[in-house]
Structure 1
C-alpha cells in the first residue's frame, strides 16, 4: 500500500454535474428507498467507464489495497465507506457481532470515497488458511459519523488503513519475508497500531497465499537489484569514483532500474520500498543517492 492522492482523481465535468443532481435526489429519498435508488444509478456513477479510467490514471492499473497488477483482471470500484448496511465486527477477534449499521449511503456517489480494488481485496473469499475481502465490513472504534456528514468532515476512529491517507500509509509495513506486519519496523508499534494492522490484513486479504508469494518474489527481485548495484558501486569507487567512468554509467543504469521497480505504478511498490528502507543499514549509497 502506497499513498494515493485523492486530488488526482480527475473526472469529466459532465459526470460531476450529473452526480451533483443525483446526490440531491438521493437526499430526498426515504430510508427504505435509498439502496434501490443507489444501485439503479450504478452505471451513471461509480460504474461509469470514466471513473475506472480516472482511477487507473492515478497510479496505474493496480489495486490500491494490495498493489496487485490488474491487467487481465476484473477491477472493482470499492466504496471505502460502504454505501449499504455495514456488518459490525469485534476488532480483536475479527468475528461478527450480529449488529448492523446503516452505512454511508450519502457517500455512494462521492468520487473521494472510491478506491480501485482487486476482487480478492473487495469481495469476501475464504482460502485454506486465510480469509479476507472487504465485503460489507468497515470496522471503527466508537460511534460512526453522523448521517449526511461531508466526506471531508468525517470524524471516526477508522481501523482499516486507507491508501488515501498519508499518515495511514506510513503505518503499512512488510516484513523481510513479504508478510505484512511490524517486524523490523522503525519502532515498537502501539497496541492501536497493531490492531489497525491486523484489521487491515484481514479486511483486504493481504495475507492471501497467492498474493503473499508474488509479493515476496517482488521484494527478492529488489534485493537482488540492490546487491548487483552495490557490486557496481564498489568497482566504481575502487576506480576513483570519476564522473566519466564506465562503471559510473553502469551504476546510474542500476539506480534507474531500482527506481522503476519501486515507482508508484509498479506492483507491490510499498513492499519493495520496505526492502529499500531495511537495506539502508547495509548500503550507504541508498541515502546518498536518494533512491526513495
Structure 2
C-alpha cells in the first residue's frame, strides 16, 4: 500500500452542482428516509458510473488501493466505500445502531478502487502467518493450511469504538483502524518481511491501524502473497547482481575496469528504482526493499 493523492472530483459527483448525479441522489435518499423508507442497494447508483470508475482507475494507477495488485486489466474492480454505505459491522457488534454512511455514498473523498478480494468478505482465504523463515516452512504450512474469512465489506473499526451515525456529525472526530491511502501514509503503519520464506506484511512498531488493516483486508492471503513474492524475488536477484558488481568495482585495480562495473551497478539500481514507481504492483514493498539496498550501497561506497 502506498500514499495516493486524491484527484479532482468527477463532474457527476460534484457537490457544488445541484444538477449533478451525486447531489440529486443525495436528495432522493433524504426524501426516502424522511418518509420512513429503508434504503436499498439500488438506491445507490451515482458512485458506480463508468466515468467515476475510470477516474478511480487513473488515480490508483490501475491497482487496488489496499493490496496494490494490478487489477484494471485482468479482473473486475469494485468501487469501494471507505466508510461503508449500508452499515458498520463493528458498530452492530458493539450494540450501536449504525445506518451506514449513506450520505457519503456519492462523495468522491469516500471512494477508492479495490479488488474484489479486499472489498468483499470471503471465507475461503488461506492467510500466510508471520515467522516463516524459509520457503520450506512456507510449503509445510500450505500443506496443512486452514481457511479464514477476510475482506472489508462493511468493516469499519475505530480505536475508541465511536462512530458518527448521522449526516450532521463530524467524521474527522473518528479514529479509523483501517488505512485509507489517500488520507494516511501507509509506511507509518505497515512493515514488510523482505528476507524470510514468505513475502508478508505486518504492523509497524505495534501500530493497531496496521494490524487491523492487514487482518481485515487479508493482506497476507495466499495468492496475493505469492504474487508479491514473485516481485520480491525479482528484486532480490537484482540486488544480488548489484552487490556483486559493486564488490568487483571496489576490488578492480584498473580504473577503466572499475568504471565498467560501476556503470553496470548503476543500471541495476535504476532497474530497482523503476519497480518502485506509483504504477508498479506492490510499490510499497518495493520501496521498503529499495531503502535497505540503498543503505547497503552507501555503506559499500564509504565516506
TM-score (norm 1): 0.79
Cα distance in structure 1, aligned partners of 2:184 and 2:288: 16
Give 1:204's match in structure 2, choosing from 199, 208, 217.
217
2:105 corresponds in structure 1 to 108
Distance in 1 separating the partners of 2:185 and 2:226: 27
Q: 2:192 aligns with which of 163, 168, 174?
A: 174
Residues 281/21 of structure 1: CA separation in 2 closer, same or farther (3 Å cut): same
The yes-or-no answer on 1:21 pairing with 2:24 is yes
Mapped to 2, the partners of 1:286 and 1:178 lie a distance apart of 26
Q: Deviations over 1:229-286 (max 9, x none)?
A: 23333444546778x9444443343222111211111111111222223334433279
Q: Give unmatched runs, 5+ long, in structure 2.
A: 125-145
Query: Partners in 1 of 2:210 and 2:298 — Cα distance?
Result: 30
C-alpha contact 1:55 1:116 (8 A) present in aligned 2: yes
The 1:97–1:14 alpha-carbon spacing in structure 2 relative to 1, beyond 3 Å, is closer
Q: Are the aligned partners of 1:131 and 1:202 in contact in 2 as well (CA < 8 Å)?
A: no
Deviation at 1:108, TM superposition (A): 0.5
Match of 2:166 in 1: 147
Q: 2:113 is paired with a residue of what secondary structure? A: strand
CA-based RMSD of the aligned residues comes to 3.0
Q: How does 1:157-236 map to 2 (within 5 A)?
A: 157-176=175-194, 177-182=198-203, 189-190=205-206, 193=207, 195-236=208-249
Q: Following the alignment from structure 2 to structure 1, what is the Cα–Cα distance between the partners of residues 234 and 177?
A: 32
Residues matched between the structures, number: 268
Inter-partner Cα distance in structure 1 for 2:299 and 2:277: 19
CA change 1:87–1:166 in 2 (3 A) is: closer
* 2:79 counterpart of 1:77: yes
Superposed, 1:275-290 pairs within 5 Å as 275-284=289-298
Give the secondary structure class of the aligned counterpart of 2:57. Answer: helix
Give the aligned partner of residue 93 of structure 1.
Answer: none
Deviation at 1:161, TM superposition (A): 1.6
Larger Rg: 2
Name the CA shift for 1:142/1:249 in 2 (closer, same or farther; >3 Å): same
